[in-house]
Chain A
Amino acid sequence: MSAVTVRLPTVLRQQANGQSAVSVAGSTVGEVVDELVLGYPDLKSNLLDEAGTVRKFINVYLNDEDIRFLDQLETTVVEGDEVAILPAVAGG
């Protein structure tokens, strides 16, 4: 288990006691996300669908890399890593 920092966009901070970043323990990105929503249950329905997977309009990054190009939620994290969560913004 490693302590990593999770950066939250403004729109999610209210559900994390106003914090812009929180420290969470885990050994993979998936564990970090699970631990995050355990600590801040209000975040859960925004981040995960009913099956417990990250919603498709949400991008998750590990140290500036999109986890879709890594090992997705299985990506290993180490002490001091930074996970960032952001919505996909698009239009026509």
Chain B
Amino acid sequence: MLSLSRTSWLEILAEAWRVYPLEACGLLLADRSADGALIDESGQADRPIQRFVPLKNAANSSRVFQLDPMGYMKVERMADDDGSEVVGVVHSHTHTAAYPSATDVREATMPLVPPTWHWVIVSLAWGSPELRSFRVQGQKSDWLLAWGSDSEYKKGSEYKKGTDKWGIAEEQVWLR
């Protein structure tokens, strides 16, 4: 479950509109020492989101995003220093609904992209913005080390909205 403050939600929305019609992106941080007090239906314990940090879209595109690598590195360092942890990534869709594209699924399931991350998508395609959050399903850590002969990885691209096989699935969002 994604627990997001109304302030963070407004900051995400502000960033999405600020860079529109390009895709916006950024990272979500949680306090490393906070209890994973929120247990959703799947039994997953998640820490509430402490803040949203916008990053430059290095792809400079209205169709794709790439986290500015230097910015990402600086956020990781800041998180190490202040006791927080990157727990998710946010990006906007400017022309489509707030569901993962095939590219999103492929990238979310890349080796080394943390498998526990929240993948938050905000859509500006219609009058009122919508926000959804997704998580990679399956034992990604098992195949992090089996990259060379990885058949599970390919399945990620087979995700279709509403199907819940291996890939990425919607999670509850709690605005606090």
Interface size on B, residues (CB 8 A): 39
A10 and B114 within 8 A (CB):
yes
- Shortest Cβ distance from residue A36 to the other chain B in the assembled complex, whole angstroms: 15
A46 touches which of B25, B107, B112 (Cβ 8 Å): B112
Residues of B within 8 A of A (CB): 25, 59, 63-67, 69-70, 72-74, 76-77, 80, 85-86, 89, 91, 100-104, 107-108, 110-115, 119, 141, 144-148
Q: How far is the CA of A20 from the CA of B66 in the complex (A)?
A: 24
A16 in the interface (beta carbon within 8 A): no
**CB-defined contacts of A88 to chain B, threshold 8 Å:** 66-67, 69, 110
Beyond contacts A61-B73, A90-B59: 4 other A-B pairs, Cβ-Cβ < 8 A, are A10-B86, A45-B146, A46-B112, A92-B102
**CB-defined contacts of B77 to chain A, threshold 8 Å:** 7, 84
A42 in the interface (beta carbon within 8 A): yes
Residues of A within 8 A of B (CB): 7, 9-12, 14, 20, 42, 45-46, 50, 55, 57-59, 61, 64, 66, 84, 86-92
